[in-house]
Amino acid sequence: MPGALVVENISKRFATSAGALAALEGVSLAVPQGRFVSIIGPSGCGKSTLFGVVGGLVPDYEGRVLIDGAPVHGTHDDIGMVFQEESTFPWLTVLENIMFPLDARGMARNECRERAERLVHLVGLDGFGNSYPAELSGGMRQRTAIARTLAAEPKILLMDEPFAALDEQTRLLLGDKLLQIWRELAQTTLLITHSITEAVQLSDEVVVMTYRPGRIKRVIPIDLPRPRSSEIVESAAFGRLVGTIWHDLREEALRGLAQTEPQGVSH
């Protein structure tokens, strides 16, 4: 199953009431087939913008997005997206949510159901297939959204801070779940996060972004052994990697803070 993702020299500007805002500037990165890469950066650095550009939801950018060497425009069947915001359909049950993309493709109803039931099991929601999102916890809703995206069998999985709204423990445990799914399905994965531990726990490579305009500051290979579990956070190697990333991220986060705090604005 191919599915190599290349992002080439992406720049994106937004027209705002305060003039043009450079959200991304010359961002290039590559996620080889079957690899897990995380992007980390301070709030407002353009991570969601990059996610939207790669997924084909944000128009009018410079640069190219390539899948297996071919440039793509707009949304693409090979790409599955999991969004930062709450995105389950509240009027559908967990099972119906997961069946949604299959239904939309016109897949036979019982085949849809079968595949959706397998995914319910894969994301650990057994017994909740007939529950509505309002009856679930935030983490369960996010797992439903992930299962829904996986149902379409994308070759490349893009996730924008899927666990941002969850507490640290849940996040670590869902990270384990995610790794288990990734091992099983072997998708090329690009995860956007602002949690250093999450990035180190999961990835082959962590890409650190600068504060506005979003550029790539550094790419840090994570050479921790696989298969990993969340217990890896205890290891010294894990701690060193977290330290290295924080060193880079700290500068950018401070810059972001200085620009958004009123007293920090000095022109």
Partner 1 sequence: MTAERHGRAVAAGLVGLAAVAALLEFVIRAGLVSPLIVAPPSSLPQAFALLAREGYLVAPFLITMAQAFAATALAAAVGVPLGFILWRRPLLGRAYEPWLGAAFAAPLILLYPLFLVIFGRGYATTVVVGALAAFIPIVLQTRAGLLGVPPVLINVGRSFHLSEPRLLWKIIFPAAAPAIFTGLRLALIYALVNIIGIEFLIDFGGLGRVVSQMYFQYQIPAMYAAIVLIVIVSLVFLSLLQRLETWWRPR
Ligand X SMILES: Nc1ncnc2c1ncn2[C@@H]1O[C@H](COP(=O)(O)OP(=O)(O)OP(=O)(O)O)[C@@H](O)[C@H]1O
Beta partners for residue 21, in sequence order: 14
Q: Which residue has the tokens 């849809």?
A: 112
Q: What's the min distance (Å) between Cβ of 201 and ligand X? A: 19
Residue 189 class from Cβ within 10 Å (0-12 exposed, 13-18 middle, 19+ buried)?
A: buried
Residue from 13, 14, 132, 136 touching partner 1 (CB under 8 A): that is 132
The answer to the question of residue 57 lying near partner 1 (CB under 8 A) is yes
Task: State which of positions 66-85 bind partner 1 (CB under 8 A).
Answer: 75, 77, 79-81, 83-85
Q: What's the min distance (Å) between Cβ of 195 and Mg ion? A: 13
- DSSP-derived letter for residue 220 is E
Residue 91 binding partner per list partner 1, ligand X, Mg ion, none, with a CB distance cut-off of 5 to 8 Å that depends on partner kind = partner 1
C-alpha dihedral, 230 to 234 to 237 to 242, nearest 10°: 80
Residue 59 binding partner per list Mg ion, partner 1, ligand X, none, with a CB distance cut-off of 5 to 8 Å that depends on partner kind = none
CB-facing half-sphere around the CA of 12: CA atoms within 13 A: 29
Nearest residue to ligand X on Cβ basis: 48
CB atoms within 10 A of CB 211: 24
Report d(CA 159, CA 38) in Å as an integer.
9
What are the tokens at 242? 């977290």
Q: Which residues bind ligand X (CB under 6 A)?
A: 14, 16, 21, 23, 41, 43-49, 84, 194, 212
Residue 44 binding partner per list ligand X, partner 1, Mg ion, none, with a CB distance cut-off of 5 to 8 Å that depends on partner kind = ligand X
- DSSP-derived letter for residue 133 is G
The answer to the question of residue 107 lying near partner 1 (CB under 8 A) is no
Residue from 3, 41, 42, 101 touching partner 1 (CB under 8 A): that is 101
Q: Which residue has the tokens 């290979």?
A: 221
The answer to the question of residue 89 lying near partner 1 (CB under 8 A) is yes
Helix, strand or coil for residue 219?
strand
C-beta closer to Mg ion: residue 131 or 260: 260
Alpha helices in the chain (DSSP H): 47-55, 94-104, 109-122, 138-151, 168-185, 196-202, 236-260
The answer to the question of residue 97 lying near Mg ion (CB under 5 A) is no
The answer to the question of residue 38 lying near Mg ion (CB under 5 A) is no
The answer to the question of residue 130 lying near partner 1 (CB under 8 A) is no
Q: What's the min distance (Å) between Cβ of 261 and partner 1? A: 28
What are the tokens at 140? 């369960």
C-alpha dihedral, 32 to 37 to 41 to 45, nearest 10°: 40
Please give the order of strands across the beta sheet that includes 205-209.
79-82, 156-160, 188-193, 36-40, 205-209, 216-221
Task: Give the contact letters, 45-74, x = binds to Mg ion (CB under 5 A), - = no.
Answer: --xx--------------------------
Total number of residues that touch partner 1 (CB under 8 A): 25
Q: What's the min distance (Å) between Cβ of 26 and ligand X? A: 15
Residue 155 binding partner per list partner 1, ligand X, Mg ion, none, with a CB distance cut-off of 5 to 8 Å that depends on partner kind = none
Q: Which residues bind Mg ion (CB under 5 A)?
A: 47-48
